[in-house]
Amino acid sequence: MGGTLPLSYRGRRSVLERPPLPLSVNTVFPFRNQFCAMSSSQASWWPLTVAALTFITLVGCDVPTGNSSPSINTDTEISTPLVQEKTFTFLGGPNSEFDPLIDTTSSDFDSLFEVESSNNDISVVQEIDNFDIGNLNEALDNATGSLTFDQKTLDETFIDLKKEGFTFAGEKQIEDLNVDLQVSATADIPVRGSRVAFRKSRNNYVELGPTTIEVQNITSSPTAPGGVFDSLRFTYPDIRVEPYGEDNQLVVDFVENPCGSGPCGSNGEYERDISTLGDGFRIDLKGARIYPDKPNIDENGTVTFKIGGQVNPDLTVKDDDKISFGASTSFDNFEIREIDVGAAKPFTVAVTPNENGGDINVANDNEVRTAAFDGFGGITDRVDGLKLADVSLTFQVETANLASTDAQVYAAIQGTNETNQIYLRGTEDQNMSRGADRNVSSLPFSAAFTENGVSLQNESLIKLGVGLEEAALGETVRTPLLVDGDNSNVADFVNALPTEVRLAGQAEINTDGGGLQVRKPIALDANFSLNVPLRIKDRFVVRDTIDADLSDLNDLTDPEEDVNISTAELQVSYTNGLPLGADVKMVVFDAAGSVIETFNDGFDNENLRIQPAAKNGDGAAASSSSGTFVFTLGSTQQGLQALADGDQIRLAFNMDQAGSGGGSEAAARLRADDQLTLNRVRLEADASVQTGK
């Protein structure tokens, strides 16, 4: 027979090298429907048989023509392990035994997660220490409004000799007349204001800052060289100095030999020289308290002012003289630093600055306080779509020097990240037994919250109520307020992973119009913290890149060879101890980091899935699942040629709770040591290679 004899070979090569082509094989002649085989035993056959076989061979066999080189078919199998078991823990660090899906020691996550040492339960932890709101000293001014103490002028005639029927010629000394030389008078200083009420039965008071009280415009008659009075006392029974007992009234005595300039009398009286009576006096009342008689908010009140003394017995008088005295008393630089009132109208105070006194612009950095959620920064570099279940924030409102009252803080709280923003919105509390409503139905003040001129709807705001009925002045009160899924959209807010939080707010204080205690400096601050078990609400994506040399695919991509590829795939076997399943995407990169090809880009191939571990009643993993999924790489030389340059593969796990077993409907709860193991990642290929055709 002339021409080429096609040879067929079937073998199995090792993983790391191609088997040599066989030089001596059983030669097979392909016929159309049968094979004619020659052997050395034919020499013993009788001639007729030989002739018949020769004829059949010449007639029935295809006799190739043309190229005289042999054509060889080789079945080739590639089986290369790329990863020989890799275990991931959900959380960990560089010193962890296994590679963590999320490295909690990295700058992105070092403050985000907290692990309970006893059971490895994970909590997501974030805290904003404070918003540095500062003082609310204007609250005192807003509470008292235009509370004022008027100037009071006293013009008193103590003795009218003519009225009393004295008739005598010339002059006499007053002591020679039958008159009482002890004189006194009382006057009421008006207290005006329409926002607060003081009840003397409750010892309600106003404590003064650097305020002075003065008596001036003093007149007395008749004019006499020795003076009209031997002594004179000015008493303010409604003004007390420390320690504020009933015996600590403000008293100023004009006497012959004063003890000093300060409160040096036996009961803390101030003393002045009687010879300087005409100069009056001026006394610093800082720290003193005034106890007005003003029982009704909308009515004016009074503070009592008394004068009493001894007329000089040597005073020379005529029968028509009048022993009289005149003076005015007033408060100068009047300033209140503390109040204790029986009732006060509700009032508002700016929690954050309000530049123009009008609407509050959340977009204006000068009208908000900002703080950072540091732990959420950069999280998207490793994790996409992380959403937590059972989310709650604990607000802690810190107040000082607000007591016997309440405060309702109305706020616009905006969370922002690089691309999005969201408002923390309050709702009516669905937990009826608790009644911690956070919704804002209306604002009790005229200012509106805006964002660059656009009014925010009340539905975008939140109300935080603080009860201070049992608080005392001088102490700092920290009130925790829970904001959860029953009274807010906190889950949406936190799951937006904001890196910055902006707060603008105003507060209404004393909403019930009852009693109130306020003292400067008035402090209000707020912080909030997130500390919840890591329970997964929906799905999120975790990525990991592993080295994977796919150059063995070059064995199937030689352009000089005719290759019939029956199988080319990447097989991944796993054991999953996470209470989450995952759809898997694979991206192949070359040595330069460029993407060669992406497989299951939309996570929509249901065969490329890791099944979740069964859960127990609280959502934690109870038992592991195991299985294998396969990425089909292609069936053409051209398709595999690019993949042969693969140097790394990135696996993206789109993790969710679908299909989780164990009969538990609880949200998946993750523990730090929950593990996902890739038992084997192997490159497998089968092909028939024909050479020399």
* Statement: residue 24 has pLDDT above 60: no
- Quote the CA–CA distance of 233 and 254 in Å, as a whole number: 6
- Quote the CA–CA distance of 464 and 481 in Å, as a whole number: 7
* Statement: residue 206 has pLDDT above 80: yes
In a domain, 122, yes or no: no
Verify that 452 and 491 share a domain, yes or no.
yes
Q: pLDDT-derived band of residue 11, with 50, 70 and 90 as boundaries? A: very low
In a domain, 129, yes or no: no
For position 3, what pLDDT does the model report? 42
Verify that 505 and 552 share a domain, yes or no.
no
Verify that 156 and 26 share a domain, yes or no.
no
- Quote the CA–CA distance of 247 and 513 in Å, as a whole number: 32
Verify that 179 and 193 share a domain, yes or no.
yes
For position 160, what pLDDT does the model report? 93
Pairwise pLDDT comparison (128 vs 14), residue with the higher score: 128
Beta bridge partners, 563, equal: 689
Diameter over CA atoms, the chain: 195
- Quote the CA–CA distance of 454 and 469 in Å, as a whole number: 37
- Quote the CA–CA distance of 362 and 455 in Å, as a whole number: 10
pLDDT tens per residue, range 525-556: 888 777 666 666 566 777 888 888 999 988 88
Percent of the chain with pLDDT over 70: 78
For position 665, what pLDDT does the model report? 64
* Statement: residue 513 has pLDDT above 60: yes
Which segment of 11-20, 169-178, 314-323, 411-420 scores lowest on mean pLDDT?
A: 11-20
DSSP 354-418: -TTSS-EETT-GGG-EEEE-GGGTTGGGTEES--BSS-EEEEEEEEEEEESEEEEEEEEEEEE-S
Verify that 105 and 173 share a domain, yes or no.
no
pLDDT tens per residue, range 595-609: 999 999 999 999 999
Verify that 190 and 99 share a domain, yes or no.
no
Domain boundary, last residue among 301, 318, 342: 342
For position 38, what pLDDT does the model report? 42
Verify that 518 and 421 share a domain, yes or no.
yes
User: Which are the contacts of 527, defined by CB distance < 8 A and separation ≥ 6?
Assistant: 127, 128, 129, 130, 131, 395, 396, 398
In a domain, 2, yes or no: no
- The 10 Å Cβ neighbour count of residue 43 is 7
* Statement: residue 126 has pLDDT above 80: no
For position 58, what pLDDT does the model report? 42
In a domain, 117, yes or no: no
In a domain, 131, yes or no: no
Pairwise pLDDT comparison (3 vs 372), residue with the higher score: 372
Verify that 513 and 544 share a domain, yes or no.
no
Which segment of 40-44, 487-491, 518-522 scores lowest on mean pLDDT?
A: 40-44
* CA geometry: angle 626, 632, 635, nearest 5 deg: 155
Which segment of 141-145, 389-393, 544-548 scores lowest on mean pLDDT?
A: 389-393
Q: pLDDT-derived band of residue 615, with 50, 70 and 90 as boundaries? A: confident
- Quote the CA–CA distance of 119 and 618 in Å, as a whole number: 13
In a domain, 350, yes or no: yes
Verify that 169 and 192 share a domain, yes or no.
yes
Mean pLDDT (whole number) for 559-584: 88
Verify that 207 and 331 share a domain, yes or no.
yes
Which segment of 89-98, 160-169, 346-355, 463-472 scores lowest on mean pLDDT?
A: 89-98
In a domain, 186, yes or no: yes
DSSP 653-664: EEEE-TT--TT-
Domain boundary, last residue among 342, 363, 382: 342
Q: How many domains does the chain have?
A: 4
Backbone torsions φ then ψ of 61, nearest 5 degrees:
-95, 145
Verify that 426 and 523 share a domain, yes or no.
yes
Which segment of 49-53, 127-131, 143-147, 198-202 scores lowest on mean pLDDT?
A: 49-53
- Quote the CA–CA distance of 692 and 253 in Å, as a whole number: 130
pLDDT tens per residue, range 61-87: 444 555 555 666 777 788 888 887 888
In a domain, 404, yes or no: yes
pLDDT tens per residue, range 452-479: 999 999 999 999 999 998 899 999 999 9
* Statement: residue 278 has pLDDT above 80: yes
User: Residue 20: which domain range?
Assistant: 7-70
Verify that 98 and 170 share a domain, yes or no.
no
pTM: 0.66
Residue type, 249: Q
List the beta strands (DSSP E) in 380-515.
Answer: 383-384, 392-403, 405-416, 421-423, 449-451, 454-455, 462-468, 476-484, 500-509
Q: Report which DSSP code applies to 287.
A: T
Q: What is the average pLDDT score of the chain?
A: 82
Which segment of 41-45, 352-356, 388-392, 403-407 scores lowest on mean pLDDT?
A: 41-45
* CA geometry: angle 671, 677, 678, nearest 5 deg: 150
- Quote the CA–CA distance of 589 and 646 in Å, as a whole number: 6
pLDDT tens per residue, range 176-199: 998 999 999 999 999 999 999 999
For position 102, what pLDDT does the model report? 62
Q: pLDDT-derived band of residue 39, with 50, 70 and 90 as boundaries? A: very low
Match 């924030």 to its residue by tokens.
Answer: 393
Pairwise pLDDT comparison (324 vs 496), residue with the higher score: 324
- Quote the CA–CA distance of 233 and 184 in Å, as a whole number: 9
- Quote the CA–CA distance of 607 and 601 in Å, as a whole number: 13
Token output for 647: 């140097």
* Statement: residue 321 has pLDDT above 80: yes
Which segment of 30-39, 169-178, 373-382, 582-591 scores lowest on mean pLDDT?
A: 30-39
- Quote the CA–CA distance of 121 and 114 in Å, as a whole number: 8
- Quote the CA–CA distance of 631 and 681 in Å, as a whole number: 11
For position 377, what pLDDT does the model report? 54
Give yes or no for a contact between 463 and 440, defined as CB atoms under 8 angstroms apart. yes
Domain boundary, last residue among 319, 342, 365: 342
